[in-house]
Amino acid sequence: MRKLLALASLATGFVGLANAQGLPDNCVETLFASNNQGNVGGAVYFDLTVTQNISIAGLLHNTASIDPVGITVFTTSGTYVGQENNMAAWTQVAEDDGLALAAGIDQPTAFTFVAPFTLAPGTYGIALMGDNFTTGGQMAMHYTNGNGANQNYASVDTVLSLSLGAATNVPFTGNVFSPRVWNGRLCHGMGSGPGMNYCMANANSTGAAASMSATGSANVAANNLVLEANDMPNNSFGFFITSLTQGFVAGPGGSSGNLCVGGAIGRYVGAGQIKNSGGTGGISLAVDNTMQPSPTGFVTVAAGETWNYQAWFRDTTPMGPATSNFTDGLEITHN
């Protein structure tokens, strides 16, 4: 199962280095061309500026370490500069789920976090440590020496921008090596609506990875939740699925995507619920909390329950037959 997870995540990592080559608009990518590295368990630092509420469910990173690999994420308010040797300034916000398999030097290794973390608009210092405290997985950070021209990157949607960076062989202590350019990719989920994104979607035939979001509220009594899926192919049929359980299956039934829900999966396939993305590449559905689909019939959503949502849609393969694909997942705790 870990091999399947790694292969699926790796496919996501090879989407491309530029938007024209398929990098999703909500992602920022630096380099996968290292000419330097730190010690196993060391850290890299950079500044991340975000322009709206977001969630981050994982990242891609350059390492040649042998499995098991691991990563932990820390943030500090403002900038990392001057805080590289001040552990008290940093807050741990994420840790990988222990399922990552190293893809090899100058290739993207995909890490999914145990839980996404959220950021409000502003600038943050980010520290990535090559150590997972829970699993014991460790790795060396491979990075590129900064030269002034290779130190700033931004997502096409302008939500994320990076200013890079520095490294230490021991996290938050010792000699600071600067400038150093972290090799990796960050993608954001919309954090302004209900829920948090999780799981990594594969690119579809548009070259982008389709994503979930929601509007309205998670309040059960308000019953005004609207699910949305974006960056689908135009004129594609799709529908939403839901479950109390998260999961991961790469390419179920020959799909090009990843199934991110498990357990008892309900499908929104009733009258008017199978949607066409038309010319916008998106679908939406107003859901009824009193008629949540399940394999055994409709159930009522209760306050305190966490439901997971995903969209499944028709897709095509280059010069090949029709297939299907999935968005990422959206986790919503109802109140």
pLDDT for the residue 110: 87
Q: What residue spans define the domains of the chain? A: 18-189, 193-333
Out of 27-31, 50-54, 196-200, which region has the weakest mean confidence (pLDDT)? 196-200
Can you name the CATH fold of 193-333? Immunoglobulin-like (2.60.40)
Long-range contacts formed by 149-154: CB under 8 A, 24+ apart:
150/30, 150/31, 150/181, 151/179, 151/181, 153/28, 153/29, 153/30, 154/28
3-state SS class at 308:
strand
Q: Confidence band (pLDDT; 50, 70, 90) for 114?
A: confident
Which CATH code of 2.60.120.820, 3.20.20.70, 2.60.40.10, 3.40.50.970 fits the domain covering 18-189? 2.60.120.820
pLDDT for the residue 2: 34
pLDDT for the residue 192: 55
pLDDT of 276 over the 70 cut:
yes
Measure the CA–CA gap between 232 and 12, rounded to whole angstroms: 16
Give the pLDDT mean for 211-222.
Answer: 88
Q: Can you give the pTM of this predicted structure? A: 0.59
Distances from the Cα of 93 to the Cα of 9, 127, 200, angstroms: 22, 10, 19
Model confidence pLDDT, tens digit, residues 38-81: 999 999 999 999 998 788 888 999 999 999 999 999 999 999 99
Q: H-type helices in the chain, by residue range? A: 2-13
pLDDT for the residue 1: 32
Between 266 and 216, residue with greater pLDDT? 266
Q: Which helix (H) or strand (E) holds 329?
A: strand 329-333
Model confidence pLDDT, tens digit, residues 138-150: 999 999 999 999 9
Give the pLDDT mean for 255-276.
Answer: 95
Percent residues over pLDDT 70 in the chain: 91
For residues 56 and 112, is the Cβ–Cβ distance under 8 A? no
Distances from the Cα of 4 to the Cα of 31, 99, 309, angstroms: 25, 10, 22
Angle at Cα 328 formed by Cα 325 and Cα 331, nearest 5°? 140
DSSP state letters, 233-274: PTT-EEEEEEESEEEEEESGGG-SSEEEEESS-EE--STTTS
pLDDT of 16 over the 50 cut:
no
Does the CA dihedral 266-272-278-281 come out positive or negative? negative
Model confidence pLDDT, tens digit, residues 283-334: 999 999 999 999 999 999 999 999 999 999 999 877 678 899 999 998 898 9
pLDDT for the residue 216: 83
Amino acid at 139: M
Long-range contacts formed by 288-297: CB under 8 A, 24+ apart:
288/223, 289/220, 289/223, 289/225, 289/334, 290/223, 292/242, 292/266, 293/242, 293/266, 293/267, 293/268, 293/269, 294/264, 294/266, 295/264, 295/265, 295/266, 296/264
